[in-house]
Structure formats: structure tokens, C-alpha cells
A and B are shown apart, each in its own frame.
Chain A
């Protein structure tokens, strides 16, 4: 007796419609912002580890602090800190965007697309403002 006669389908043979695979989507800013929110969140975990290293250095004394400062203010160190700064501001601004969604605002496509771009712009501007304030002060 065939399985179909029992009303039971063999899952592996059935021609079921598949959920659209990620590969067929055209990239949109709202997709990118969703992925970036998670990526920056995970990345900022690394930022907190660097923060721990720096704070422990400050508490350990001048010699070790100067050594860690040397690492962090090297070219590579500054690029890493610049990336962490942008990640923090991106996650902060996009987090505020999420909080608006949580109260039911900004779900329509036009607003969601616009707010995604605003977050990109704001994160870049705030990163520049913070670094200019840090080094011009």
C-alpha cells in the first residue's frame, strides 16, 4: 500500500513550496540593518572585553597602563577603536529604532526604509563627532 493512500506523505519526495531562500532576495537597507544590528551587538561584546583590559590596566598601575595605551593608540589599535565606536553608535541608534517599533510606530515600508538610512547617517556623524571631540579637546 502506498503511503499516500493512508494520507501520509513522504516528506522527502513531496514537491512542497519552499520558503524563499536568502539567495534570491535583492539586498535592501532594511535587511542590512537587521543583520548589522546583530553583528554590531556581537562585536560590541568584543569591545567590552577590550574595555575590561583597559580598565584593569588603569587599576594595575602606570607602567602597564602606558603599555596598553600604546597598543590602543597604534594605527591598528585606533582603527579597531574607530570600528567599535561606529558599532556602538550604530547599535544605539538602531536600538532606538527598535524601541519605536516596540511601541508600534514606524512599521510601514517607507518609514522603515527611511529610518534605516537615518540610522546609518547618524551613526557615522556621531562617530566623527566623538573622535573630533576626543582629539580636538
Chain B
């Protein structure tokens, strides 16, 4: 005997309505990366051949550090989403898949944060 109504029994069993969420986040980061990656390439062109003092001055300048941090954050975010899809497409064993998905997420956070810390040190550290 079940006193719940038919509507009450089916609620919550359908789609989570999040099917396009991952796709959408990847497009947002992709659009952001169009100007950011061009700006970052200009920054790299400026420091090509520079000695340490000049490189630190360019990367530590508010403009350089700002471009670098925005690019690094968005690029690692976009990389995490993209590698996730690649892993989901090609790795099917549950243990290997979960391990690689976690490694992807942790790796992107760790290396992204390491890059940002390095830039912050160049901007603020003596």
C-alpha cells in the first residue's frame, strides 16, 4: 500500500536538468580565452629573450600580472573541463576513470594555483 500520489512518486526521478551545464561552462571559458590567450601571447612575446630582471618587471607589473592570472585561471579551468570529456570518452574501467578524473581535477588546481602564486610573488614579493 502506497499512499503517495503518482506525481509524488515520479518527482526527482527525471533528468537533473544539468545536461548542458558542463557544455555551457566550457563555452564561457572558451569565449573568455579568445582575448586572454592573445593578450598572454603578447606578454610572452615581450619577455622573449629578456633577462631575469626584465622578465620579473614585465610579469610583476599590474598589467602583466593581471593578464597572466586571468589567463592562467581560465586556461586551467578550461583544461579541466576538456580533459574530463576526453577521459570520459576513452577510459571505461570505473577505477581507472575515477582515478584519472580526480587526478585531472587535483592536477589542474595544484598547477594553476602554483602558477598564480608564482605571479603573485613576482608582483608583490621583493
Contact = CB atoms under 8 A, between A and B. Distances in A.
B96 interface: no
A85 B49 CA distance: 16
B33 A92 contact: yes
Contacts of B82: 41-42
Contacts, number: 83
Nearest to A73: B49
Interface of B: 27, 30-31, 33-34, 37-38, 41, 44-46, 48-49, 51-53, 55-56, 59, 68, 72, 75-76, 79, 82-83, 86, 111, 114-115, 117-119, 121-122, 125
Interface of A: 38, 41-42, 44-45, 48-49, 51-52, 55-56, 58-59, 61-62, 65-66, 85, 88, 92, 95-96, 98-99, 102, 130, 133-135, 137
Given A59-B122, A95-B33, A133-B45, 20 more contacts: A38-B86, A41-B79, A41-B82, A42-B83, A48-B79, A51-B72, A55-B68, A55-B114, A56-B114, A56-B118, A58-B59, A59-B117, A59-B119, A59-B121, A66-B52, A85-B41, A88-B37, A95-B34, A99-B27, A134-B44
